[in-house]
A and B are shown apart, each in its own frame.
Chain A
Amino acid sequence: MTVEAGLASPPELDIDPFTRENLRDPEAVQTAIRETAPVVRLTKYDMYAIGRHDLVQTALSDYTRFTSTGGIGMSDIRKPGAWRTPSPIAEVDPPGHSAVRRTLQRVLSPVIIRQWRDDFMAEAEKQANTIIGSGTVEAVRDLVEPFILKVFPDALGVDMPREAFPLIGEMNFNQIGPNNDLTKASIEAAGPHLKNYEQYFSRESMIAGGLGEKIYQAEDEGGFPTGTAGVQVRSFLRAGVDTTIAGIGHMLLRLAQNPDQWAKLKADPSKAKAAFDEAIRMDSPSQLIHRTTVSDMEFGGLALKGDVKVGCFIGAANLDPRKFSNPTAYDIDRNSAGTHVALGAGPHICIGQNIARLEAEVFLGALLKRFSRIELDGDPEYKTINTLRSLDRLPLRLVS
């Protein structure tokens, strides 16, 4: 593709999104990336960054210009020194991706997901009952994590030690960013669990009746390239645990901060899914996903070079005032599903989003049934993970 002569290059931005301070509160970084220019160049990481909603949506969707084959992380998995093999679902472009996606979509149809509702609900009720009495809870570790780490691995039919999940998740979401001290420390912390890691996803380890077993069956029927079912199961587990724990945490925090929105839900619990979508719009669990420019091109009125990583700053895009009026107001009646990019966009849009919404809906439903008010019982704290925005501590008081 030829690029019009005389177009300016993206301005340089000397900012580090991955300091502990900026990860705890990403607002300054999000604003700088989004408002400086349509595309900026992060000097420290020698990559492009975009934070405007329309451009993020385009870059995530248009695989003819922005490929996923370089990996969704900051490092290019095709280049010398690459330390891992591509995900057979997230790191391939159409048309190869389409066949794989189709098979996974069949395994994840609404018909299959609805069968899980009763199990999810039973666990949500059980967790909600633990609060009755004291009325106070540290919601991340004592409420949301136990819920997700029960229902999701069970639905998948994977048996992995519960304590391994947060450690491996932290490592995965650090690795999508730079190889900094956070990444190194999280690899070390996850180390003891990595020895047997592949084994948890082997055919023999799949629990009968789970989704994992169906993924292996689909491979047998020719729906996936031979030998990739285990990686599909692993990709699925990776994508569906830390993100949903984070999203439900953000939702609870927003509801504790916005009693008017809680009141709306008490009056009409069918808005629970909207409460979740609006929460992940404002605090998007997956903050950063990368693409790679296929060639030199014009984008956002600027001249981009080919073969450069493009960081799509999802959290920034979801707070873009060009797209959302009063973007920092939590309003469940905004009906943000389908308008935000927290679940991605285009061919790779989150395939498990129906499961995430089901989890959020039944979990919030169990709280709405039991409690009249939800309040903060101390200051919330955030984890510091390169590309995942998630609460570390959320002290809540729930009043019957």
Chain B
Amino acid sequence: MPKVTLINPDDTRTELEVAVGDSVMRAATAAGLDGIVGDCGGGLSCSTCHVVIVDDAYFAKAPEISPTEDQMLDFTAMDREPNSRLSCQLVMTDEMDGLVVRVADPQL
């Protein structure tokens, strides 16, 4: 199963296995990671699962940003960065194995 590493706000790292087709948000909330809120459950309506992809190469491999995600990323609690994504839209593929994201702080 592809792996994702999350760098938490306290700089600890959490490695998760995420099934292909599952989102990073779902995997992180299921694992009880407090840094990812994911209130709306993946409906692109809360902007509380904000992450920043560390490596540009992975940013390019990630699914394309939809207009709605692009819009929601403008209203996150932590300011948007060039590699910002909503982790509910980071749906895992084999190609994304090894993805490292920094969890935005704050989310709310």
Contact = CB atoms under 8 A, between A and B. Distances in A.
B76 A110 contact: yes
A336 B40 CA distance: 9
B43 A110 contact: no
Contacts of B72: 105
B89 interface: no
Nearest to A347: B68
B47 A337 contact: no
Contacts of B46: 110, 353-354
Contact of A110 (B44, B67, B88, B108): B108
B21 to A, nearest CB: 15
Contacts, number: 66
Contacts of A335: 29, 41
A339 B106 CA distance: 25
Contacts of B74: 106
B107 interface: yes
B42 interface: yes
A111 interface: yes
Interface string A74-105: 00000000000000000000000010011001
Contacts of A343: 40, 43, 45
A345 B45 CA distance: 10
Interface of B is mostly: loop
Contacts of A113: 108
B77 interface: yes
B41 A277 contact: yes
Interface residues of A, number: 27
Interface string B93-108: 0000000000000111
Given A337-B40, A357-B39, A111 B45 contact: no
A338 B48 CA distance: 13
A349 B43 contact: yes
B75 A105 contact: yes
Given A110-B46, A110-B107, A114-B108, A273 B39 contact: yes
Contacts of A337: 38-41
A338 B71 contact: no
A109 interface: yes
A349 B45 contact: yes
A357 B37 CA distance: 12
Given A98-B71, A353-B43, 19 more contacts: A98-B67, A109-B75, A109-B77, A110-B48, A110-B75, A110-B77, A110-B108, A114-B108, A277-B41, A335-B41, A337-B41, A338-B38, A339-B41, A343-B43, A349-B44, A350-B45, A353-B45, A353-B46, A354-B48
Interface of A: 98, 101-102, 105-106, 108-111, 113-114, 273, 277, 335-339, 343, 345, 347, 349-351, 353-354, 357
Interface of B: 29, 38-48, 67-68, 71-72, 74-77, 88, 106-108
**A-B residue pairs, 6 tightest by C-beta:** A338-B41, A337-B41, A109-B75, A338-B42, A110-B77, A114-B108
